Amino acid sequence: PLQEGKEQTANGTSHKTSLTVPYLNPLVLRKELENILTQEGDIALIKPEFVDEHPIIYWNLLWLMERIESKTHLPELCLPVPSDKEHIDPLSKVKTVHIQCLWDNLSLHTEASGPPMYLLYRETQPTSPLIKALLTDHAQLNKNVIQQIISAIRCNDFATPLKRLANERHKLKSNGVERSHSFYRDILFLALTAIG
């Protein structure tokens, strides 16, 4: 999902609001944009109402324009338009907009299924072997297994990580731990985190 966060200051107070919209494949975005242009005309893209009427299309378009480094008028659509331009400083009502593309929704991970591999990879390991042995959680994948999976991916070997992960999940399942993460998704997100 794409996330938009706004900070607004009024009378010395500030608050944050956020909006999350799903990420659209560029082909889907193009088709949806064509539908809007067919139904509403080209003028729809310059109206400030476009942001509220088509938030998914708007934020995905804005994200796409940022990704391809194209100049666009789209960011100005979410800024407020002062009613009296002579007496109001336009900078006094400017909102700060932060757009972030999230490739995983952490709220989807339950305690029962455990954290995905990329989160386990990010955790720092204790340096002392004794502390490491005491803190080992048998309900999670071992860091050595995760390192072996990363090493295989670096060698363009995808079969070994799949087999290794399947074996480890089978061991966890025999201990009563059911991991529901998709194999592909778990390995992909680990690769994104560890390799880039």
Q: What is the pLDDT of residues 56-98, one digit of tens each?
A: 999 899 888 888 888 888 888 877 655 555 555 544 455 566 6
Q: What is the pLDDT of residues 106-161, one digit of tens each?
A: 666 666 567 788 888 887 545 455 545 544 455 567 788 889 999 999 999 999 99
Question: How far is residue 25 from each of residues 30, 86, 145, measured CA to CA in Å?
Answer: 9, 42, 33
Q: Is the model's pLDDT at 184 over the cut of 80?
A: yes
Q: Residues 142, 150: contact at Cβ < 8 Å?
A: no
pLDDT of residue 154: 93
Closest by CA to 181, choosing from 170, 169, 191, 167, is 169
Tokens of 66: 């940022």
Q: How confident is the model at residue 39 (pLDDT cuts 50, 70, 90)?
A: very high
Closest by CA to 143, choosing from 119, 111, 112, 109, is 119
Question: How far is residue 103 from each of residues 34, 54, 129, measured CA to CA in Å?
Answer: 26, 22, 34
Q: What is the pLDDT of residues 7-34, one digit of tens each?
A: 444 444 455 567 778 888 889 999 999 9
Instruction: Please report how many Cα atoms fall inside a 13 Å half-sphere around the Cα of residue 53, on the Cβ side.
Output: 11
* More reliable by pLDDT, 88 or 39: 39
pLDDT of residue 130: 53
pTM to 2 decimals? 0.48
Scanning the structure block, which residue is given the tokens 């400083």? 89
Domain ranges of the chain: 26-93, 108-195
CA distance 48 to 52: 8
